[in-house]
Amino acid sequence: MMRIEQINTDKMKLIFATNNKHKLEEVAQLLTGQFQLITLAEAGIHADIPETADTLEGNAALKSRFVFERTGLNCFADDTGLEVEALNGAPGVYSARYAGEKCSFADNVNKLLHEMQDKDNRAAKFRTVISLILDEKEYFFEGVVDGEITREVHGADGFGYDPVFKPAGFDKTFAEMTLEEKNKISHRARAVEKLVSF
Protein backbone atom coordinates (compact mmCIF):
# COMPACT_ATOMS: atom_id res chain seq x y z
CA MET A 1 0.00 0.00 0.00
CA MET A 2 2.84 2.36 0.87
CA ARG A 3 4.19 2.25 -2.68
CA ILE A 4 0.85 3.35 -4.19
CA GLU A 5 0.65 6.35 -1.84
CA GLN A 6 4.16 7.29 -2.82
CA ILE A 7 3.19 7.27 -6.49
CA ASN A 8 0.32 9.64 -5.72
CA THR A 9 2.34 12.15 -3.72
CA ASP A 10 5.66 12.26 -5.52
CA LYS A 11 5.87 12.70 -9.27
CA MET A 12 6.93 9.38 -10.67
CA LYS A 13 9.75 9.51 -13.20
CA LEU A 14 9.12 7.67 -16.44
CA ILE A 15 11.39 7.52 -19.48
CA PHE A 16 9.42 7.71 -22.73
CA ALA A 17 11.31 5.68 -25.33
CA THR A 18 10.79 7.83 -28.41
CA ASN A 19 12.71 10.34 -30.51
CA ASN A 20 9.48 11.55 -32.15
CA LYS A 21 8.97 15.12 -30.89
CA HIS A 22 5.28 15.09 -31.89
CA LYS A 23 4.61 12.01 -29.75
CA LEU A 24 6.56 13.56 -26.86
CA GLU A 25 4.43 16.70 -27.06
CA GLU A 26 1.16 14.72 -27.12
CA VAL A 27 2.10 12.43 -24.25
CA ALA A 28 3.64 15.20 -22.13
CA GLN A 29 0.31 17.03 -22.28
CA LEU A 30 -1.58 13.88 -21.27
CA LEU A 31 0.70 13.24 -18.29
CA THR A 32 0.80 16.83 -17.00
CA GLY A 33 1.01 17.00 -13.24
CA GLN A 34 1.09 13.25 -12.65
CA PHE A 35 4.42 12.06 -13.95
CA GLN A 36 7.78 13.53 -14.75
CA LEU A 37 8.48 12.54 -18.34
CA ILE A 38 12.15 11.90 -19.13
CA THR A 39 13.22 11.95 -22.77
CA LEU A 40 15.71 9.49 -24.26
CA ALA A 41 18.27 12.30 -24.61
CA GLU A 42 17.81 13.23 -20.93
CA ALA A 43 18.34 9.56 -20.06
CA GLY A 44 21.60 9.59 -22.05
CA ILE A 45 20.33 7.31 -24.83
CA HIS A 46 21.18 8.57 -28.31
CA ALA A 47 21.11 5.28 -30.22
CA ASP A 48 18.40 4.40 -32.73
CA ILE A 49 16.26 1.75 -31.08
CA PRO A 50 15.51 -1.17 -33.44
CA GLU A 51 11.88 -1.78 -34.43
CA THR A 52 12.19 -5.16 -36.09
CA ALA A 53 9.17 -7.01 -34.68
CA ASP A 54 6.19 -7.83 -36.89
CA THR A 55 3.56 -6.64 -34.38
CA LEU A 56 2.91 -3.35 -32.60
CA GLU A 57 3.19 -5.16 -29.25
CA GLY A 58 6.56 -6.58 -30.27
CA ASN A 59 7.99 -3.21 -31.32
CA ALA A 60 6.75 -1.45 -28.18
CA ALA A 61 8.36 -4.17 -26.07
CA LEU A 62 11.66 -4.00 -28.01
CA LYS A 63 11.89 -0.27 -27.33
CA SER A 64 10.97 -0.34 -23.63
CA ARG A 65 13.28 -3.30 -22.94
CA PHE A 66 16.14 -1.58 -24.79
CA VAL A 67 15.79 1.44 -22.49
CA PHE A 68 15.30 -0.60 -19.32
CA GLU A 69 18.37 -2.75 -20.02
CA ARG A 70 20.50 0.39 -20.34
CA THR A 71 19.07 2.44 -17.47
CA GLY A 72 17.32 0.10 -15.04
CA LEU A 73 14.64 2.82 -14.73
CA ASN A 74 10.86 2.71 -15.15
CA CYS A 75 10.04 3.42 -18.79
CA PHE A 76 7.48 2.98 -21.50
CA ALA A 77 7.35 2.88 -25.28
CA ASP A 78 4.55 2.87 -27.78
CA ASP A 79 4.11 1.62 -31.29
CA THR A 80 1.27 2.85 -33.43
CA GLY A 81 -0.16 1.59 -36.67
CA LEU A 82 -2.83 2.72 -39.10
CA GLU A 83 -4.87 -0.33 -40.14
CA VAL A 84 -6.90 0.15 -43.31
CA GLU A 85 -9.67 -2.36 -43.98
CA ALA A 86 -9.49 -2.24 -47.79
CA LEU A 87 -5.72 -2.85 -47.64
CA ASN A 88 -6.07 -5.93 -45.39
CA GLY A 89 -4.82 -4.03 -42.35
CA ALA A 90 -1.87 -2.32 -44.09
CA PRO A 91 0.21 -0.29 -43.46
CA GLY A 92 -0.13 -1.57 -39.85
CA VAL A 93 3.20 -2.21 -38.16
CA TYR A 94 4.97 -0.65 -41.18
CA SER A 95 3.05 2.66 -40.93
CA ALA A 96 6.12 4.80 -40.19
CA ARG A 97 8.08 3.43 -43.15
CA TYR A 98 5.24 2.59 -45.55
CA ALA A 99 6.85 4.48 -48.45
CA GLY A 100 10.41 3.28 -47.65
CA GLU A 101 13.05 3.51 -44.94
CA LYS A 102 13.89 7.24 -45.16
CA CYS A 103 10.43 8.43 -46.20
CA SER A 104 8.66 11.54 -44.89
CA PHE A 105 5.14 11.77 -43.44
CA ALA A 106 4.04 13.24 -46.79
CA ASP A 107 5.55 10.29 -48.72
CA ASN A 108 3.55 7.85 -46.58
CA VAL A 109 0.31 9.83 -46.98
CA ASN A 110 0.77 10.08 -50.75
CA LYS A 111 1.39 6.34 -51.05
CA LEU A 112 -1.70 5.60 -48.96
CA LEU A 113 -3.93 7.91 -51.03
CA HIS A 114 -2.56 6.31 -54.21
CA GLU A 115 -3.31 2.79 -52.91
CA MET A 116 -6.81 3.91 -51.87
CA GLN A 117 -7.76 5.90 -54.99
CA ASP A 118 -10.14 3.26 -56.41
CA LYS A 119 -11.41 1.97 -53.03
CA ASP A 120 -14.94 2.76 -51.84
CA ASN A 121 -14.43 1.16 -48.43
CA ARG A 122 -12.53 3.89 -46.52
CA ALA A 123 -12.79 2.29 -43.04
CA ALA A 124 -9.61 2.40 -40.97
CA LYS A 125 -8.44 2.45 -37.39
CA PHE A 126 -5.45 3.79 -35.51
CA ARG A 127 -4.08 1.40 -32.90
CA THR A 128 -1.48 2.21 -30.24
CA VAL A 129 0.13 -0.36 -27.98
CA ILE A 130 2.18 0.78 -24.97
CA SER A 131 4.73 -1.42 -23.21
CA LEU A 132 5.38 -0.19 -19.66
CA ILE A 133 8.21 -1.55 -17.55
CA LEU A 134 7.50 -0.68 -13.94
CA ASP A 135 9.51 -2.15 -11.06
CA GLU A 136 10.97 -4.70 -13.49
CA LYS A 137 7.56 -6.01 -14.61
CA GLU A 138 6.13 -5.43 -18.09
CA TYR A 139 2.53 -4.37 -18.78
CA PHE A 140 0.70 -3.63 -22.04
CA PHE A 141 -2.04 -1.08 -22.77
CA GLU A 142 -3.92 -0.61 -26.03
CA GLY A 143 -5.86 2.32 -27.46
CA VAL A 144 -7.94 2.21 -30.65
CA VAL A 145 -9.86 4.85 -32.58
CA ASP A 146 -12.06 3.98 -35.57
CA GLY A 147 -12.48 6.26 -38.52
CA GLU A 148 -12.03 6.57 -42.26
CA ILE A 149 -9.45 7.64 -44.82
CA THR A 150 -10.34 10.86 -46.62
CA ARG A 151 -9.83 11.23 -50.38
CA GLU A 152 -7.43 14.13 -49.98
CA VAL A 153 -5.29 15.88 -47.39
CA HIS A 154 -7.09 18.16 -44.90
CA GLY A 155 -5.45 20.29 -42.21
CA ALA A 156 -1.91 21.32 -41.35
CA ASP A 157 -1.54 20.20 -37.73
CA GLY A 158 -0.70 16.80 -36.31
CA PHE A 159 1.75 14.41 -37.95
CA GLY A 160 1.91 11.11 -39.80
CA TYR A 161 -1.44 10.15 -41.33
CA ASP A 162 -3.40 12.80 -39.37
CA PRO A 163 -4.29 14.84 -42.52
CA VAL A 164 -6.14 11.87 -44.08
CA PHE A 165 -7.68 10.22 -40.99
CA LYS A 166 -11.14 11.36 -39.95
CA PRO A 167 -12.21 9.78 -36.62
CA ALA A 168 -15.74 8.31 -36.44
CA GLY A 169 -18.34 10.85 -35.34
CA PHE A 170 -16.27 13.87 -36.44
CA ASP A 171 -16.36 15.94 -39.61
CA LYS A 172 -12.67 16.84 -39.58
CA THR A 173 -9.36 15.02 -39.69
CA PHE A 174 -6.88 14.78 -36.81
CA ALA A 175 -4.77 17.37 -38.65
CA GLU A 176 -7.66 19.88 -38.50
CA MET A 177 -7.98 19.47 -34.72
CA THR A 178 -6.06 21.25 -31.99
CA LEU A 179 -3.76 19.07 -29.88
CA GLU A 180 -6.30 19.41 -27.03
CA GLU A 181 -9.14 18.14 -29.26
CA LYS A 182 -7.09 15.26 -30.62
CA ASN A 183 -5.90 14.29 -27.13
CA LYS A 184 -9.50 13.82 -25.98
CA ILE A 185 -10.17 11.03 -28.47
CA SER A 186 -6.97 9.72 -30.02
CA HIS A 187 -5.68 6.14 -29.94
CA ARG A 188 -2.52 7.27 -28.11
CA ALA A 189 -4.57 9.21 -25.56
CA ARG A 190 -6.72 6.12 -24.89
CA ALA A 191 -3.67 3.93 -24.34
CA VAL A 192 -2.01 6.55 -22.12
CA GLU A 193 -5.23 6.93 -20.09
CA LYS A 194 -5.12 3.20 -19.34
CA LEU A 195 -1.46 3.50 -18.31
CA VAL A 196 -2.26 6.44 -16.01
CA SER A 197 -5.25 4.79 -14.34
CA PHE A 198 -3.17 1.63 -13.87
Catalytic site positions: 79
Q: Are 119 and 86 in contact (CB under 8 A)?
A: yes
DSSP character at residue 12: E
Cβ neighbours for 197, distance < 8 A, ≥ 6 positions apart: none
Distances (CA, A) of 22 to 31, 34, 138, 160, 191: 14, 20, 25, 9, 16
Q: Do β-strands 137-149 and 165-167 pair in parallel, antiparallel, or remain unpaired?
A: antiparallel
d(CA 174, CA 154): 9
